[in-house]
Amino acid sequence: MEMFANRIRGYYEDILDPLAKEFLFRRPPTVGELRRPPQVLLLGNHSSGKSTFVNHILGDAVQSTGVAPTDDGFTIITYGATATERDGAAVVSNPDLPYEGLRHFGDQLVSHVRLKLRPAELLQTVTLIDSPGMIDEAKAEHGRGFDFPGVVRWFAERADLVMIFFDPDKPGTTGETLQVFRESLAGIDHKMLIVLNKVDQFQSLHDFARAYGALCWNLGKVIPRKDLPMIYNTFVPLADKPKSRLPMEDFEKARNDLIGELRRVPTRRMDNQITQIQAYAERLRLHAMVIGEAANRLRSVRARWAGFAILLFGGLSAAAVGTGMLVALPGIAVAAVLAVVFIGYLILPRARKRLIARFDQIFETLHDRELLLRDRAEDLRMMWEEISSRTREIAEKRGLQSFEKMRWHDREQLEELTDKLLPQLRSELYHAMRDGDAPATASEPDRPATPPTSEPRHPVLVEGDRVSNQKPKRKTFF
């Protein structure tokens, strides 16, 4: 895993960062962001069994559980050699932890965040985030005191896996769940795992089928996909609960599959990072090509007007000297100065404005071949739509003339990265996964196959550019 992470870091530093700086594109993720530990976010209705599941997989009663809404905050559970806890204020103000961004959600949220450090083996590769159970919209509006969908989105964007729990009582029907699907989870369905939990509560196949059907029906309304996502039907065996009359083997297998997914999260994370760098590189290429081409066209306009002025006034001066009308020379000089002012203050700013307004056309012209391929066209247009307003804003604020045309070599390098190096990296990752190399980060040659218990394998508490060999913090342009 370390090898994959280093290569991704190298691509950002050597290829993308210099170009992003030159064209004022948004900064790439910091080394700290890239080194953030793999994270799993657990969401779901209240009492759907999130905390019970966390306790089960960690083999320890880390979280409180209960039938009434139990958790009203977010608990980050990560590796620590000794069991300790920190409150939200300490978590969001610690620059070595990747949670400073939560501060923007206000004190109400901060007081609802906790960090728990536990010496569980699983936490050496994965950080878990348990969340408050979702409730009915009306109650939520009065009760939370912070932007719940916003915070969920914040965590979900940074998570490598989002597990969404439902239970037989509320298979996806609470208002808040639907709101979270629409507002917080849109666009990240590739990271979602759906769990229908507590299936040991079903006493007949009929009950199970009804709840499963209701869940599918509700999911269909909020997940804009043609196919239904995989649903893990499972339960946590609890001594104090009555046994179901249904055969439980398949549901137990689903629990093992779910735990297998958790163990694969470090590999998923690497896969997500490859997707992320690919998306970044493609957007950077569009941005730099369009802005560079427009700047080049502006320079041509300037050169044309300069050539025209030189020819005109040079010709007039030569004619005045040739015909002995030297008295006309001062007049020609004044006219030349006026012309320069006219071009500089009227013609060129207009041309600049026109060019910026025509960014869409420039994009279409530059990608005319690629846009003929249907799938590629949809992708390209979507990416351009996403970045175009910022690209325009930068061209306006910074001045189009301050950019150069994108160098051929840079363009080739970017294309090699997106078309060759990154697909190759992904295929190597899949091979490593298939060979059983990846999940427990056992590919690191200097690590034993079973993790030592004293040290986390990921720099859990190391974040930000403070990690010693880092470059200074980059300016954020977007």
Ligand X SMILES: Nc1nc2c(ncn2[C@@H]2O[C@H](COP(=O)(O)OP(=O)(O)OP(=O)(O)O)[C@@H](O)[C@H]2O)c(=O)[nH]1
Interacting residues with Mg ion (CB under 5 A): 51, 70-71
CB neighbours (10 Å) of residue 268? 22
* Contact status: 168 vs ligand X (CB under 6 A): no
For ligand X, which is the closer residue by CB, 23 or 53?
53
Residue 47 contact among ligand X, Mg ion, none, beta carbon within 5 to 8 Å by kind: ligand X
Instruction: Tell which one of 7, 9, 46, 112 touches ligand X (CB under 6 A).
Output: 46
Residue 145 is a binding residue for ligand X (CB under 6 A):
no
In terms of CB distance, is 9 or 255 closer to ligand X?
255
Q: For residues 35 and 50, which CB has a smaller minimum distance to ligand X in the complex?
A: 50
Binding mask 231-260 for ligand X (x = CB under 6 A): ----xx-x--x-------------------
Which residues in the 116-135 window bind ligand X by CB under 6 A? 132-133
Is residue 201 at the binding interface for ligand X, with CB under 6 A as the rule? yes
* Min CB(159)–ligand X separation in Å: 17
Q: Which stretch binds ligand X (CB under 6 A): 31-39, 69-77, 79-87, 331-339?
A: 69-77
Residue 65 engages ligand X in binding (rule: CB under 6 A):
yes
Comparison of 248 and 328: residue with beta carbon closer to ligand X: 248
What is the nearest approach in angstroms of Mg ion to the Cβ of residue 178?
A: 20
In the chain, the amino acid numbered 377 is A
174 binds ligand X (CB under 6 A): no
Please identify, among the stretches 193-201, 281-289, 367-375, 423-431, the one whose residues bind ligand X according to the rule CB under 6 A: 193-201
Stretch touching ligand X by CB under 6 A, among 50-58, 93-101, 257-265, 315-323: 50-58
The CB-nearest residue to Mg ion is 51
Selected from 23, 28, 31, 51, the binder of ligand X by CB under 6 A is: 51
* Residue of the chain from 30, 39, 52, 391 that contacts ligand X (CB under 6 A): 52
Contacts of ligand X in 16-45 (CB under 6 A): 44
Buried b (16+ CB within 10 A) or exposed e, 88-112: beebbebeebbbeebbebeeebbeb
Chain residues that interact with ligand X, rule: CB under 6 A: 44, 46-52, 65-67, 69-71, 132-133, 197-198, 200-201, 235-236, 238, 241
